[in-house]
Amino acid sequence: MITVDELRPLSLFDGVGDDQLAELVAHGTEIAIEPGAELFHEGGDADAWWLLLDGAVDLVRNVGGEDTVVRRMDLPGQWAGGFRAWDDGGRYLATGRGARPGRMLQVQAPALRELSLTWFPFAVHLIEGLYSTARSIESTARHRESLVTLGTLAAGLAHEINNPAAAAVRAVESLDTAAANVLTAVQGLAAAQVSAEDVATFDRHWRELEPSAVGVDPLDRADLEERLTDWLEDHRIERAWRLAATLAAAGADVSWCDEVADAVAPASLGPGIAWMASTAETAQLLDEVKVATNRVSALVTAVRSYSQVNRGEHQQVDVTEGIESSLLVLGHKLRGGIVVTRDFADGLPSIDANAGELNQVWTNLVDNAVDAMDGRGTLRISTREVEDGIEVTFADSGPAVADAVLARAFDAFYTTKDVGKGTGLGLDIARRVVAERHRGAIALAREGEETVARVRLPLG
């Protein structure tokens, strides 16, 4: 049974009367310290105040997937927790684990608050103001960080969607002309009284074309078009230069033209070439529309997956899908000199998590890596199954990071970026989501020629 006489020698209670100490003891509970036993847990609600009477308690934090003792409480009068007496959102900063047999006085936060208000009302108001100001500053900064991130993503997505949308519009406008050309070519076939056998030959030959010439060197393309123009003019085919460009884009060459000429009647060749060229052009434009609209659809799907619209707080999450959607959303930042390599494990199990929050983590890690590489380098992303969970690794080839920077990388408001380019909250948010919201671990280290961010998450 704890007594007032045990508390009186503690310097913590200088100026506190015996009656007040008696009230504190009456509201408290004696808790035995057993080596290895956990008294309170990192990230949990700090709803109790713990005062050491004798023995020892290790304060442990999970760093990089490993438990690290950050402090040992071994002097009577040392205390921890109780933050919810002043702040409704207060959480334990470390795990309290018994190191040597002893005792602690545990007082619940509401009781501690009431006693403090009775004994030191002015001090309580000062403490509350301190917590309120700190939380307001942090909340404003985080809100600002979210708005900046949202604005960046919105601008990037607008750019991503604009390109395929504009391509689709251009292709649709060209289709009007191409369709008219097909009808004119069909009329030409009829006017020349091309036989059914020759029409079948033309149809077979244009279907054999593959746009292999697409993407070749512009000079090589120009040479090919010139050779096709000469061939068409030699065979007295009208609009030779126009047809040559279309045929070259479709993958035709002079030898293909010779095969067609050898297989049909001479009178059928001109109308047939015109029909094949217009038909191939129409097919190409339809392919362009298909590619462009598929790209827009993929972006919309990625945004829905990224934002997790209409999804519950926690559900079974495919981590690989979340990473891919984040990469697609950040596509505007990954162009130019950034090479992304993927090493995703087959059959990776789903985990119980908040998908939207995890996507924030992947976005922050990719964004940090791109900034570290200054827009040029290799980003290697890998996933694998580990004991009781999964591990996700983001490794960038950026310059070496000082140990002092790595040690503070996850501190709130710490940033090495120029003024106006960062708030120092990206990695802090990632740490909170991984460690506090998902009971996982996140670490940043220099490994060989890479800076590696490693995230471990439990399955459930």
Do 160 and 291 share a domain, yes or no?
A: yes
What SS3 class is residue 451? strand
Phi and psi of 292, rounded to 5°?
Answer: -65, -45
Do 165 and 289 share a domain, yes or no?
A: yes
Tell me the average pLDDT of the chain. 81
Q: For residues 365 and 434, is the Cβ–Cβ distance under 8 A?
A: no
pTM of the model: 0.45
Do 165 and 272 share a domain, yes or no?
A: yes
Do 292 and 335 share a domain, yes or no?
A: no
Do 334 and 294 share a domain, yes or no?
A: no
Do 249 and 204 share a domain, yes or no?
A: yes
Q: Is residue 94 part of a domain?
A: yes
- Measured N-to-C along each axis, helices 240-250 and 266-307 cross at an angle, to the nearest 10 degrees, of 50
Per-residue pLDDT at 96 exceeds 90: yes
Give the C-alpha separation, 400 to 402, whole Å. 7
List, as one string, the DSSP characters of 240-277: HHHHHHHHHHHT--HHHHHHHHHHS-HHHHHHHHHHHH
Question: pLDDT tens digits for 187-200?
Answer: 888 888 989 998 89
Q: Per the structure block, which two tokens stand in for 454?
A: 């490693």
- Measured CA distances, 237 to 44, 270, 272, 457 (Å): 82, 5, 10, 68
Per-residue pLDDT at 246 exceeds 90: no
Give the C-alpha separation, 225 to 241, whole Å. 8
Q: Is residue 160 part of a domain?
A: yes
Domain of 229 in residue numbering reads as 156-298
Q: Is residue 377 part of a domain?
A: yes
Q: Is residue 134 part of a domain?
A: no
Give the C-alpha separation, 361 to 438, whole Å. 12
Q: Is residue 371 part of a domain?
A: yes
Do 238 and 264 share a domain, yes or no?
A: yes
Q: Is residue 175 part of a domain?
A: yes
Instruction: Give Cα 347 to chain centroid, integer Å.
Output: 21
**Maximal CA-CA distance, the chain:** 119
Give the C-alpha separation, 76 to 205, whole Å. 93
pLDDT band at 395 (very low <50, low <70, confident <90, very high): very high
Question: pLDDT tens digits for 101-138?
Answer: 999 999 999 998 888 888 777 665 566 565 555 555 55
The CATH number of residue 330's host domain is 3.30.565.10
pLDDT band at 413 (very low <50, low <70, confident <90, very high): low
What total number of domains does the chain contain?
Answer: 3
Q: What is the Rg, in whole angstroms, of the alpha carbon atoms belonging to the chain?
A: 35
Q: Which residues contact 392 (CB under 8 A, 6 or more apart)?
A: 319, 323, 362, 381, 382, 383, 454, 455, 456, 457
Using the 8-state DSSP alphabet, how is residue 85 labeled?
G
Do 387 and 275 share a domain, yes or no?
A: no
Do 320 and 441 share a domain, yes or no?
A: yes
Domain boundary among 273, 298, 323: 298
Q: Is residue 234 part of a domain?
A: yes
Do 377 and 431 share a domain, yes or no?
A: yes
Give the C-alpha separation, 452 to 391, whole Å. 12
The residue whose two tokens read 């000429």 is: 261
Do 292 and 424 share a domain, yes or no?
A: no
Domain boundary among 70, 94, 119: 119
Instruction: Give Cα 383 to chain centroid, integer Å.
Output: 14
Q: Per the structure block, which two tokens stand in for 392?
A: 């996700």
Q: Is residue 136 part of a domain?
A: no
Give the C-alpha separation, 48 to 50, whole Å. 6
Domain boundary among 248, 267, 298: 298
Per-residue pLDDT at 371 exceeds 70: yes
With b for 16 or more beta-carbon neighbours within 10 A and e for fewer, the 154-166 pattern comes to eebbeebeeebbe
Per-residue pLDDT at 385 exceeds 50: yes
Give the C-alpha separation, 62 to 69, whole Å. 9
Kind of pairing between the strands at 450-458 and 389-396 = antiparallel
Give the pLDDT mean for 203-219: 73
The CATH number of residue 33's host domain is 2.60.120.10
Do 231 and 361 share a domain, yes or no?
A: no
Q: For residues 306 and 156, is the Cβ–Cβ distance under 8 A?
A: no
Per-residue pLDDT at 153 exceeds 80: no
